[in-house]
A and B are shown apart, each in its own frame.
Chain A
Amino acid sequence: MTASQINGLPVVTVHGGDDVAEVRDVIYNPEAGRLVGLTLNKRGFFSGRSREVLPAEAIHAIGRDAVMIADESSLVAPADAPDDVGHPATDRNVIGNDVLTEGGTSLGVVRDLALLVGSAGEVVGYQIEKPAGGHGYIPLPAQLAVSGAALVVPDVTQEFIRDDLVGLGAAVDDFRARLGMQ
């Protein structure tokens, strides 16, 4: 599951079976390595954006075909949502950001976020475009230090670049175990 696959998904109530909105933007906290919420469009081809937002805590599950919420009360007005969700900083698109190791090596540019399947938005890695070309996936530590606009990852990340999401899934635990030992 990647963040770009979430964009445009319908938001469906578990207990109502209704599509109450669809995903507009994904709001991501790089320090915590998790989604903090989603902004929404109204349903329908000609409908515009929705004023309401969906904080991550109110997400029941994110699947391949829909974002599930308990019921319509999960959608909240921006004033009632955490500030990062209610008034997101739309000038900081993570896609396209440079990923640098602490040692100063560029691993590439972020193309997408890899999410833990079945979670309410835990981000476990980035899909990157390598400087030499081609795609790869890197795992993220549970906690991440972010400085400024660039995303800074531990040096050891270089050893854990994988070719696909399956490889990434297997690498995340090993990677985090390695970090824990240091």
Chain B
Amino acid sequence: MSDSFRSATGRKVVSRASAADLGMVSYFLVDVGQRRIASVVVGRGKKARLVDWAQVSGFGPDAVMVSDEGALRPAAGDREQAAADGKLDMLGKRTLTERGNKVGTIGDVTFDPATGVVEMLQISDRTIPADTMLGSGTYAVVVDASQEPVP
């Protein structure tokens, strides 16, 4: 069963140790080279914190379980800070091919909740495999030339 960024956004994050509600999933930070979720951003604005995928003990349909509150940490470095601010959010982001042509806007991203592996990008009426991704940044998600739009 795969999950998606759109349906997982807003899901509550719960500590397995204390059962405390730690906040809600706001964004995902994707490691494009590994093609998997690097970390999940919990909360928005100044209160946003990150939890590394390795610290997620269960990404369930109703809640995201983490070991304890200590798994949540502040953003470290520019890229994580951009992710915490939502600037790297792939939802709604334009997609360009490496040849500089626009493919469309990302509507949703599917992933395997067991492994964090990103599977598909839904762009307008197309679904393209995530292994075509070359980069994901503040301006665009870049995919390889195999996804070149037909003129």
Contacts and interface: CB of A to CB of B under 8 A. Distances in A.
Interface of A: 9-10, 12-19, 60-68, 118
Interface in B123-145: 134-142
Contacts of A17: 135-142
B100 A66 contact: yes
A68 B96 contact: yes
The A contact surface, by secondary structure, is: loop
Given A67-B100, A68-B100, 9 more contacts: A13-B135, A14-B134, A14-B142, A15-B135, A63-B96, A63-B97, A63-B100, A63-B101, A66-B140
A68 B99 contact: yes
A16 B135 contact: yes
Interface of B: 32, 96-102, 134-142
A60 to B, nearest CB: 6
B151 to A, nearest CB: 9
A12 B96 contact: yes
A33 B135 CA distance: 32
Nearest to B144: A14
A9 B99 CA distance: 13
Nearest to B134: A14
Contact of A19 (B32, B140, B141): B140
Contacts of A10: 139
For the complex of A and B, the 10 pairs showing the least CB-CB separation, nearest first, are A63-B100, A17-B137, A19-B139, A18-B137, A17-B135, A63-B101, A65-B102, A66-B100, A61-B99, A15-B135
13 contacts: A10-B139, A13-B142, A14-B142, A17-B138, A18-B137, A18-B138, A19-B138, A60-B98, A63-B99, A64-B102, A68-B96, A68-B142, A118-B99
B134 A65 contact: no
